[in-house]
């Protein structure tokens, strides 16, 4: 097949600053949008940010500003407008009509990059599922929009407008495809579950972090692998695991996986569920942070929010502050000092320097050798299985039985995750008791 080189799409970036947070921080999110756009192979010709307390329901930014942009679109030969937030279908339609440009919102841009970077069958199916779910939610909004404008009191008859009927048909078609894909993904999930079970005898450590932080670079260095590394967002969409020896006595399994970003589309989080199991099932997370980014502390928060969303908030975390080689200005040195104080379980490295890898191994080893936490728990005597489990799995420092209240109080030392699990079991048990009362 003959290959033709396609001209790059020329785009304007458009943002809305609502006054939340500092303006400089907001501008960094537009820089990030620019990096995303470049990763998607388009050329950024200009950027517009309007200050408004909240989005305009019809045109996102003010209509006057849109018309100003329309003139610039003609001058600069721009064909696409990329927005720093998600748009409602009505906003996208109105802006397209006013400017005659293709309209792409933040989620669509991220989904496009995922679609471009998906290599394996599993990643491809997961991206397709996310795309379908996003389109489905858009069609649902559009359908609601139609019902609102056409369905005033007394106007809804048995015959519907052609647009509305088509949307309903499309929705049903998409729904069918979604169920089919979900079934296929569950099948793949079963196979990887078997693989993960085999590794249960080793400690599993997962690399997590903001996209482009250097996770794959670090993974390659630690495991002598050759995974794809690039100054692009979402270079990695699959998880890869390897066994490595930290020292002659400690063998662990380390996993590289997908990076996170602020406002990571929910459809991606749910459709990449099986890939993210590497994170939710790991015993320890190594949170890799690019400290050359001036807003790296905000990035840490974003990553922690996604970790909460996927149910990994109780995991033990060690911080690997990466790209130290790029930090030499005064501001960066202050940032480093602040991070050092706020994150005691951490190391500062450059994944480019082989000698820094020892620091990472040492950090993990220290963790593995001091992994226990102490807590006192009160357990109803009826929960015999849990009590037996604790006696076997944890270090029980003290145990007192209160026959009158049918409880046992135990001071135990064990892993953080196990403690969270024990607390949850007791809470669930009490809730069931309360409901049955
Ligand atoms: N200067 C410098 N660059 C680094 C360092 N570590 C990684 N990089 C570069 O940062 C870019 C991103 O690295 P990756 O390892 O692909 O990052 P990632 O976290 O796996 O990114 P995603 O898979 O996209 O989430 C690449 O261009 C790397 O060469 C470092 O310590 N110093
Ligand atoms: Mg990567």
User: Is residue 102 over pLDDT 70?
Assistant: yes
Cβ pair 390, 396 in contact under 8 A: yes
* pLDDT, mean of residues 284-299: 96
Closest protein CA for atom 6 of ligand 1:
214
Low-confidence winner among 54-63, 65-74, 125-134 (lowest mean pLDDT): 125-134
Look over the chain and give the mean of its residue pLDDT values, rounded to a whole number: 88
User: Is residue 110 over pLDDT 70?
Assistant: yes
- pLDDT class of 155 with cuts at 50, 70, 90: very low
The residues facing 316 across adjacent strands are: 284
Low-confidence winner among 106-110, 164-168, 315-319, 412-416 (lowest mean pLDDT): 164-168
- pLDDT confidence of residue 200: 63
Q: Strands 250-256 and 203-209, how do they pair?
A: parallel
The token pair that represents 176 in the structure block:
């069918």
Cβ pair 82, 104 in contact under 8 A: yes
Torsion on CA atoms 211, 216, 221, 225, rounded to nearest 10: 180
Residues near ligand 2 ion, CB 5 Å cutoff? 215-216, 235-236
User: Is residue 147 over pLDDT 60?
Assistant: no
**Ligand 1 atom closest to Cα of residue 326:** 1
Task: For the beta carbon of residue 98, count every other beta carbon within 10 angstroms.
Answer: 15
- Superfamily of structural domain 195-369: P-loop containing nucleotide triphosphate hydrolases (3.40.50.300)
**What DSSP element (H or E) covers 70?**
helix 63-76
- pLDDT confidence of residue 372: 75
Q: Of the residues 229, 237, 286, which should be mutated to test ligand 1's pocket, given the most ligand atoms within 8 Å of the CB?
A: 229
**Ligand 1 atom closest to Cα of residue 218:** 15
Alpha-carbon span 272 to 309, nearest angstrom: 12
**Ligand 1 atom closest to Cα of residue 232:** 24
* pLDDT, mean of residues 342-368: 93
- pLDDT confidence of residue 294: 93
The second-level CATH assignment, the architecture, of 373-436 is: 2-Layer Sandwich (3.30)
Check if CATH label 3.40.50.11060 holds for domain 10-104: yes
* pLDDT, mean of residues 172-179: 90
Compare 293 and 164 and report the one with higher pLDDT: 293
User: Is residue 154 over pLDDT 80?
Assistant: no
Q: Give the angle 341-294-116 at the CA atoms, nearest 5°.
A: 120
pLDDT tens per residue across span 265-275: 888 998 888 88
User: Is residue 160 over pLDDT 50?
Assistant: no
- pLDDT confidence of residue 152: 33
Compare 85 and 7 and report the one with higher pLDDT: 85
Alpha-carbon span 7 to 273, nearest angstrom: 36
pTM of the model: 0.80
pLDDT tens per residue across span 221-245: 999 888 888 888 989 898 899 999 9
- pLDDT confidence of residue 173: 86
Alpha-carbon span 171 to 340, nearest angstrom: 51
Going from the C-alpha of 170 to that of each of 33, 161, 295, the distances in angstroms are 31, 14, 42
């Amino acid at each position: 097949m003959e290959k033709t080189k396609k001209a790059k799409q020329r785009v304007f970036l458009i943002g809305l600053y609502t006054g939340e947070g500092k303006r400089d921080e907001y501008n960094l999110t537009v820089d990030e949008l620019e990096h995303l756009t470049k990763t998607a192979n388009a050329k950024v010709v200009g950027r517009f940010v309007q200050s408004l307390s909240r989005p305009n329901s019809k045109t996102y930014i003010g209509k006057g500003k849109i018309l100003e942009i329309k003139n610039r679109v003609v001058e600069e030969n721009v064909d696409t407008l990329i927005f720093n937030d998600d748009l409602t279908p009505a906003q996208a339609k109105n802006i397209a009509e006013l400017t005659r440009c293709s309209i792409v919102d933040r989620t669509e841009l991220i989904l496009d990059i995922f679609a471009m970077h998906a290599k394996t069958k599993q990643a491809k199916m997961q991206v397709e599922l996310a795309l379908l779910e996003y389109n489905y939610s858009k069609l649902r909004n559009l359908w609601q929009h139609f019902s609102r404008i056409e369905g005033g009191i007394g106007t809804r008859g048995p015959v519907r407008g052609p647009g509305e009927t088509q949307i309903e048909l499309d929705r049903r078609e998409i729904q069918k495809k979604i169920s089919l894909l979900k079934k296929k993904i569950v099948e793949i999930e079963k196979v990887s579950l078997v693989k993960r079970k085999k590794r249960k005898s080793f400690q599993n450590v997962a690399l997590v972090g903001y996209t482009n932080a250097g996770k794959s670079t670090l993974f390659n260095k630690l495991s002598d692998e050759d995974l794809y590394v690039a100054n692009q967002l979402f270079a990695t969409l699959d998880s890869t695991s390897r066994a490595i020896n930290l020292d002659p006595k400690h063998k662990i399994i380390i996993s590289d996986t997908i990076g996170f970003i602020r406002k990571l589309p929910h459809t991606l989080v749910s459709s990449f569920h099986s890939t993210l199991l590497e994170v939710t099932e790991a015993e320890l997370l190594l949170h890799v942070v690019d400290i050359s980014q001036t807003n790296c502390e905000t990035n840490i928060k974003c990553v922690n929010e996604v970790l909460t969303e996927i149910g990994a908030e109780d995991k033990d975390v060690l911080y690997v502050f990466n790209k130290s080689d790029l930090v030499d200005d005064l501001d960066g040195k202050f940032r480093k000092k602040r991070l050092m104080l706020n994150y005691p379980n951490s190391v500062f490295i450059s994944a480019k320097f082989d000698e820094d890898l020892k620091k990472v191994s040492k950090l993990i080893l220290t963790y593995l050798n001091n992994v226990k936490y102490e807590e006192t728990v009160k357990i109803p005597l009826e929960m015999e299985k849990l009590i037996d489990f604790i006696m076997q799995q944890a270090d029980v420092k003290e145990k007192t039985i209160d026959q009158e209240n049918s409880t046992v109080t135990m001071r135990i030392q064990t892993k953080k995750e196990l403690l969270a699990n024990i607390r949850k079991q007791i809470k669930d048990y009490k809730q069931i008791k309360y409901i049955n009362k």
